[in-house]
A and B are shown apart, each in its own frame.
Chain A
Amino acid sequence: MSLIEYDAIVIGAGVAGLTAGTLLAEKGKKVAIVTAGEPTACLSTGCIDFCSNMDNPEEAIAALPAHHPFHLVTKTQIHEAFYDFKRRMAGAGLSYTGDTNRNRHVLSAIGTFKTTCLTPETMQASPQNEQENIHIITFSGLKDFYPGYIISRLKNASFSTYDAGISTTMGLASLFEDENFLETFLLWMEKQNIRENKIAFPAVLGLESASAVKKTIEHRLERPVFEIPTIPPSMPGRRLFNCLKDGFRRAGGVIYWDWQATGAEKSGRLIEAVITGSHGRPNSLNAKAFILAAGSFVGGGLRAGHSNIVENIFDLPVFTPGKREEWFEQDYFSVNHRIGRAGIIVDESFRPVEGPWDNLYACGAILAHVEALKNGCGHGFALATGRAAAESLLEAGR
């Protein structure tokens, strides 16, 4: 028995878990999120893909295979998840742009275009084709960001390099939030005589106040500025996580960090508590209902052994796509690896089928048949199913 009994405990602090938790907290529920660490969302570009394998995400979702769990979410729920997210992020000072019926492009660090649905304000001006006229600013020693790649693909692009004395995205983001640095940097920029219509930066324009930093630069140089997502440490991914996390907290939710759920206490058809490892007394947390949003393999919700795939907390049945030798394609970069279909199968109320539990729900990347890479439906799917699972829990009167 834990100190506090929660109405609901969400396992996982990623996009799905935080969305579900925030909705429940806003509806007056006493909610806790337990998480083994910070989510893979921190490593992302911060863009929200609903379904990016076609120009129109709504049509793309409708065209997904019949067993895809996106079909468990109604069109209304997708819209609500979409607008709720936009409203929450705008409230947190990080506006997102996009429509549910049209995908957009974001320029990548190798000069290709990523297709996505919602982009953060700092990427809004990202070029939509290869003809656009852009000037890229990079920083001496910055690892894994080489404008040469971009220029080889975009013929009307050029770049210049600024020596900030720091060569990491984290360090640069810190500098951009220092007014003195920003002023020195802007004076340097003004001397560059940039002729191109738009100015691009690796995504390092601050962590807490990126929108404001972007606006300041735009104002001084009188043209649109946009960020190009980097590999981790990815500032846009972290901004997304921070805003979702703060929103959950503001709604009254509690987060238990470094709290890797290792098992559950069960009684009849109910889960009563989740358990974590401890140096002393057993450490458990009780709740009336649970939402499993622990992610798939990288997030830690699923674990692949030599011949089987398991879910470790509740020991739920896991859909496994054939024998091990069928899990992977020969081509490493293929988006069709069948392992992407592994996961938990849920019914229309987001409860695991075949599992005997009445008060357990699952959402996000841990669900079976998602194939997030192939369908381009990572964060958007997490938003929609996180919301739907929470609504299902509320409807059941838990």
Chain B
Amino acid sequence: MKFEHCIRCTICVENCPVFRVNPSFPGPKQAGPDAERFRSEKDKTVDHWVMLCSQCKRCDMACPCGVEPAQIILRAQQRYGSEHPRSAAHLLFANNFYLSRLGSVTAPLANRFAGAGIGKKILRRAGITTYIPFPEFSFKTMKKQTKAAGRGSRKVAFFYGCFINFYRPDIGARIIRLLESLNIDVAVPPQWCCGLPALGNGNLDLARYFARKNVASLSDYVDAGYDIVYSCTSCGLCLLNDYQGIMEIPRAKKIAQNAYDLHEYILRLIVEKDIRPAFGEVARCVAYHIPCHLRALKIGYPAAELMKMIPALECHLLDDACCGLSGSYGFKKTNEETAVQLGRRAVSLIRKTGAGSVVSDCGSCRMQLGGLSGMDALDPAEIICESLGIDVKGKKPAAR
């Protein structure tokens, strides 16, 4: 929040994916530091266009002066959200966690609804787009396991995130198997939505509610000697930055000090020579689309380092394009055109590499890029599991 450091160089604007394709959005400079000078505590906000920002954070990363326009806009979004009636889509997506819980419990029905013509019509009426298929709810969600069993060298508390939980628990199960195969014991603590969807839809109170519950649960695990491992880079960024930043959650620093990206964690153990995974050949050519929020984590690209260790794997790294979906952002009718145009750009970069499949850490990037390209979209953990022979059913390979 250092808007007075802005020298108006426009580098943020050049990096804004939304500005590039949507002329209604004035760009991060105007929506951020410029408008901030005119935001008064007394007057009701009128800057409705702040809601067009997708919070990809590319402006924060590009700014040479440390201004963080996305943070300024995020605060303006919360204020706008609290002062104006929210649209149906904003309300629904802020409560994504509860909605998904419902969807998952009624999975066969909910999926049929979302896939059918009438369902799509209702979704569109509510301001939700259907240009890519809505992800299918999984009836089975992640099973809690409050204590790590086994005698591994380390204990991990796995923060799986809503995407894995409600849509792809099979990936979650595989990640657990992967960690166990590396002699790590895994607990699956009680956990809630990280809060990012609520924040992104202008509901700071709900985001704080989720964050407090998560911090209470996870800090017990930290106290008991667990490392926290997250696999969704957006959940990770929220846990690390937003809990301490805009949400001001007490004890959040403790979580940030002990939370690791899954691939960062594995890479760390390899570098420290704690583990020596025997990577087998994976004869694939993949395009690794770096999620914007992984860039913002400032930890480099650890999954890329791991994939470099896999024999026969050809990996093309792409970090210049935002996929455009940005969680629930692209699912809103008002943002559909922006999301589709950005998605097509990202897909054209992927096609240029000649890769056979897309790899990305972020579930929503995979949804968008897989949906628009028709290609397989995989989590890097899936490639690593393939290399280590950890199969779909999660059979544990011989200890290495």
Contact = CB atoms under 8 A, between A and B. Distances in A.
Interface of A: 3-4, 32, 36-40, 42-43, 165-166, 170-171, 174, 232-233, 238, 242, 249, 254, 256-260, 276, 278-281, 283, 298-300
A280 B257 contact: yes
Given A4-B305, A39-B64, A170-B19, A280 B9 contact: no
Interface centre among B11, B63, B317 (most CB of A within 10 A): B11
B298 interface: yes
B60 interface: yes
Given A3-B268, A249-B317, 15 more contacts: A4-B271, A37-B65, A38-B62, A165-B23, A170-B20, A174-B20, A256-B298, A258-B295, A259-B298, A260-B66, A279-B253, A279-B256, A280-B259, A298-B64, A300-B65
A84 to B, nearest CB: 23
A257 B256 contact: no
21 contacts: A3-B264, A3-B267, A37-B61, A37-B62, A37-B64, A40-B9, A43-B11, A166-B23, A233-B10, A238-B14, A254-B300, A256-B300, A257-B295, A258-B62, A258-B298, A259-B298, A278-B298, A279-B240, A280-B259, A283-B298, A300-B64
Interface of B: 7, 9-11, 13-15, 19-21, 23, 60-66, 240-241, 244-245, 253, 255-259, 264, 267-268, 271, 295-296, 298-302, 305, 317, 320
A93 to B, nearest CB: 12
A280 B256 contact: yes
B241 A279 contact: yes
A39 B20 CA distance: 20
Main secondary structure of the interface of B (DSSP, over half): helix
Contacts of A40: 9, 64
B400 to A, nearest CB: 21
Nearest to A260: B66
Nearest to B271: A3
A249 B301 CA distance: 13
Interface centre among A42, A165, A233 (most CB of B within 10 A): A233
Q: Which 7 A-B pairs have the closest CB atoms?
A: A280-B256, A37-B64, A258-B61, A257-B61, A232-B10, A38-B62, A280-B257
Contacts of B64: 36-40, 298-300
B23 A3 contact: no
A233 B61 CA distance: 17
A281 B244 CA distance: 13
A32 B301 CA distance: 12
A7 to B, nearest CB: 15
Contacts of A276: 298
A279 B61 contact: no
A238 B20 CA distance: 14
B264 A37 contact: no
B317 A42 contact: no
A280 B240 contact: yes
Nearest to B21: A174
